[in-house]
Structure 1
Amino acid sequence: MNKFMEFLEDFLLPIADKLNNNRYLTALRDGFMVALPLIIFGSIFVVIANFPFLDKLIGEEAFASYQNALGPASAATLSIMGTFVIVGIGYKLTEHYKGEAIYGGVVALASFLIMTPQVLEGVSGVIPTASLGAEGMFLGIFTAFISAELYNFFVKKDWTIKMPQGVPDAVSKSFSALFPITFTLTVFLIIRIAFSYTPFETVQNFIYTIIQEPLTALGSGLPATIVAVLLIQVFWFFGLHGQIIVNSVFDPIWYALNDQNLSAFQAGTELPNIVTKQFIDSFIVGMGGSGMTLAVIILIFMIGKSRQLKELGKLGGPAGIFNVNEPIIFGLPIIMNPLIIIPWLVAPVVVTIITYFAMSTGLVPPPAGVIVPWTTPTILNGFLATGNAWQGGVLQAFNIVVVILIWWPFLKVLDKQYYGDEQKPSK
């Protein structure tokens, strides 16, 4: 283990150092840090608003009113978190160029909004909130990069309005930013118009079409499931909401398989399928969220020495218990972090294989087709998903240990890096 960790340090840390000095990855990381407090706030209220089985305790009508009252907390944060990240990236990248950072942030947001369809169910002038959240994150990240670069290019070309002496500083800066912002937004408007003449109509449609079309050829079974799980992880690593993309293709298949199992379970006959919607939701995603990050939180408490990881564990732990893992995804961070790409991709695939063979050999009953609330804590949701079979909870516990073992050396290296950075004297 020590030699393996030394290899990781010798191989990955130099790469990570170079990437950390890359202005785009630095802006990306810092942009997510800008959004992190809002993401954590929204995550907390998602958990509170979706306590499992609360509807059974207080009744459907009271539960609906309860959720409606708490809904704005997540709607104003998690649902539109892409906008905060975009502003943060534009701000930080412009700050790197010693420019007026606030204008870099707002031009990035405006550029993204120009590229975003403003039609919802036939009503124009309405921006779907899904486009402002995780679904639009991929486009938003690259829009922020390009818009900040364009803005700073025009500023360096000195295509600005110079105001005379005596004009208030705020007014002078505003007029100085006028031409660079105008030129930048015009570029994105031209791109939007150009895409309107293509079969895709919008940039978003283009992105999702080229991602989804290869997925439509896939079916059910272990190989397809491994591909689906791996794609979820890859998309998340690059800032795309992997579940939304992959589920949009696979959900019809998984739900149909789920219904077949439910019918068989109710009839008392043999369950025909292993891979179902609940197989994914309970045994892959339902262990702390995508990537089974509940195990990562546990590992942070076990080995974390850096203040950053310790605080992240405290903040992400309560939400992670209920399978909300945005604090870990954006706080560790997962996105574009070369130190954790190996466990992030490998652990879910290994768990998928273990779970499949445990069920195919009869050690654990397959999912019974019962839809378990997604916020149900791990162990309990494994028990419920398998038709109240204790083996389901035991399998989840075993899988958590597997994920911890896979992540251990990589998180150790990451923690060591953070700890070393914290020991450096502040400038």
Structure 2
Amino acid sequence: MNKFMEFLENILLPIADKLNNNRYLTALRDGFMVSLPLIIFGSIFVVIANFPFLDKVLSERAYTAYQNALAPASAATLSIMGLFVIVGIAYKLTHYYGGEAIYGGVVALASYLILTPQTLDGIEGVIPTSSLGAEGMFLGILTAFVSAEVYRFFVNKNVTIKMPPGVPEAVSRSFSALIPISLTLVVFLTIRIIFSFTFFQTAQNFIFTVIQQPLTKLGSGLGATILAVLLIQIFWFFGLHGQIIVNSVFDPIWYALNNQNLQAFQSGQELPNIITKQFIDTFLVGMGGTGMTLAVVILIFLIGRSRQTKELGKLGGPAGIFNVNEPIIFGLPIIMNPLVLIPWILAPIIVTIITYFSMSTGLVPKPAGIIVPWTTPIGLSGFLATGNSWRGAALQIFNLLVVMGIWLPFLKILDKSYYEKEKAKKKE
């Protein structure tokens, strides 16, 4: 065991450290966080618009009118989430460099719109919302990175207009950003023109065909998902925030898959993907936090004998209901504790497999693309994430029992060791 842990530490920790401190992955993660409130807002109204049994209670005409009235909430947020992510990423990256972050954000947005075809069904001057959502996600991310770097390059070259003293600061900043922004947009206009002479016609077609489709197909598979889950657990075991590290790489793929399901759900079509952002957040993280430690809290109340574990259960229980599990991770502890390494890694992988095959066989509906806040308690989150299906909640409860079964013998050993130490101290 010691040699295995030493191997993991020597191989994975340097990689994790580099990923955790990478400015692009940090900007990517923070950019998604900027868009999260808007995404959740849109998801809430998707749930309200598709509330169970409303189509049975209301007439067809009234139900259609009801859904149409609420549709703009998701259309203005979820359907064009790529725009918010682009602005967020470029803003954060420019801020990292110490530049005018707001200009970094808007120049990225304008650069992306330059690359985006403004034609829909032969009508000029119309931007398809699909280009602003899941289909355009990868191009948007690349555009945000490149535009922020190009804008920074021109700013650092002092290619700016200097205003005389006495000019209001806001005016001075606008003029100082004018030339760097203009030159950055010229670069992207040139890119658009170049692609118009290629087989792909547009940058969107190129990125979607060459990069996005292969990566999305890879990320939607069970094998890649198990690998991601495994890495999350291992990083956390060594005290590194596995979610931040791994999700920075996988989130663009999982969100794109999520949006595909949402579009299918809203149009009444079959959901195409099992693995999505909500697959991870609801059926793994949404059961007490990373590692589904709500099961550990419940077991502590059922079998805990030592004072240490009992006090930990009282402390971690309320937080665990809302999927905050730092008290358990640091208090049990899980970090660098060989006694819990096996259940810590094994339980999430088994739950991933169970959930995947439950959905692939149709036993449980696939995630509907509705972004449920990660703090939503177990049962309710499964219900909402699967398009208001009780089977989603039932699967969460079943998975919780599976995790409890995996953890039981290991927690008994750990609790017994704490109990024996406490008895020995009393005798002294």
TM range (shorter): 0.5 to 0.7
Q: Give the 3 Å change call, closer, same or farther, for CA 231–187 of structure 1 in structure 2.
A: farther
Deviations for 1:358-409, whole angstroms, at most 9, x for unmatched residues?
A: x9xxxxxx64999998879858999x99xx9x9x9866743465589999xx
Point out which structure has higher relative CO (alpha carbons under 8 A, 6+ apart): 1
Identity across matched positions, percent: 58
Distance 1:43 1:245 in 2: 11
Confirm or deny that 1:58 pairs with 2:58.
yes
Distance of 1:239 and 1:403 partners within structure 2: 28
Q: 1:12 to 1:372 in 2, by over 3 A?
A: closer
Q: Residue 94 of structure 2 aligns with which residue?
A: 94
Letter in 2 for 1:185: L
**Deviation per residue, 1:282-304 (Å, 9 max, x gap):** xx469x93336234212228279
TM-score (norm 1): 0.61
Aligned residue among 252, 265, 270 for 1:239: 252
Q: Which residue of 1 aligns with 2:354?
A: 351
TM-fit CA distance, 1:130: 2.0
Counterpart-to-counterpart distance in 2, 1:164 and 1:101: 23
Tell me what 2:374 maps to.
Answer: none
Q: Distance in 2 between matches of 1:113 and 1:344?
A: 44
Contact 1:112 1:143 in 2 (8 A): yes
Superposed structure 1 runs of 4+ greater than 6 Å apart: 1-11, 212-215, 227-236, 244-248, 303-306, 309-312, 342-345, 368-377, 379-382, 392-396, 403-407
Q: How does 1:35-50 map to 2 (within 5 A)?
A: 35-50=35-50
| 366-375 or 87-96, which deviates more | 366-375
Question: Aligned pair in 2 of structure 1 residues 345, 138: CA closer, same or farther (>3 Å)?
Answer: farther
The code of the aligned residue for 2:149 comes to E
Residue 148 of structure 1: how far off its partner (Å): 0.5
Q: Structure 2: which amino acid aligns with 1:239? A: P
Contact 1:195 1:202 in 2 (8 A): yes
- Which amino acid letter does the alignment assign opposite residue 75 of structure 2? A
Judge conservation of contact 1:232–1:246 (CA < 8 Å) in 2: no
Question: How far did 1:45 drift?
Answer: 1.6
Query: In the alignment, residue 184 of structure 1 is paired with which amino acid?
Result: T
Aligned to 1:192: 192
- C-alpha change, 1:294 and 1:352, in structure 2 (3 Å) is closer
Give the Cα–Cα distance (whole angstroms) in 1 for the partners of residues 125 and 59 of structure 2: 37
How many residues align? The count is 331
Cα distance, 1:292–1:188 mapped onto 2, change above 3 Å: same
RMSD of equivalent CA atoms: 5.1
Any idea what SS the aligned residue of 2:287 has? helix
Residue pair 1:111, 1:147 contacting (<8 A) in 2 also:
yes
**Where do 1:197-212 residues align within 5 Å?**
197-210=197-210
Alpha-carbon distance between aligned partners in 2 of 1:162 and 1:83, rounded to the nearest angstrom: 31
1:245/1:55 CA distance change after superposition, 3 Å: closer
Matched, 1:294 2:283: yes
Distance 1:60 1:197, change over 3 A: same
Q: What is the rounded CA distance, in whole Å, between the counterparts of 2:197 and 2:406 in structure 1?
A: 48
Q: How does 1:28-39 map to 2 (within 5 A)?
A: 28-39=28-39
Alignment of 1:14-413 (within 5 A): 15-210=15-210, 226=222, 237=250, 239-240=252-253, 241-243=255-257, 284=274, 289-291=278-280, 293-300=282-289, 302=294, 313=323, 350-351=353-354, 354-355=357-358, 367=362, 378=382, 397-399=397-399
Q: Is the 8 A contact 1:151 1:180 kept in 2?
A: yes
Partners of 1:226 and 1:352 within 8 A in 2: no
Mapped to 2, the partners of 1:40 and 1:191 lie a distance apart of 34
Contact 1:291–1:348, Cα closer than 8 Å, also in 2: no
CA distance in 1, matches of 2:103, 2:123: 31
- Going from structure 1 to structure 2, the CA distance change for 1:396 and 1:205 (only over 3 Å counts) comes to same
Deviations 1:48-101 (A, max 9, x none): 122123211223222211112222222222221211121111111111121111
Asked if structure 2 preserves the Cα contact closer than 8 Å seen for 1:231 and 1:242, the reply is no
Contact 1:195 1:203 in 2 (8 A): yes
Deviations 1:302-355 (A, max 9, x none): 27989xx979749xxxxxxxxxxxxxxxxxxxxxxxxxxx99995686236754
TM superposition score normalised by structure 2: 0.61
The amino acid that maps onto 1:243 is L
Tell me, what secondary structure is at the counterpart of 1:56? helix
For 1:99, what is the secondary structure of its paired residue?
coil
CA-CA distance at 1:138 after TM superposition = 1.1
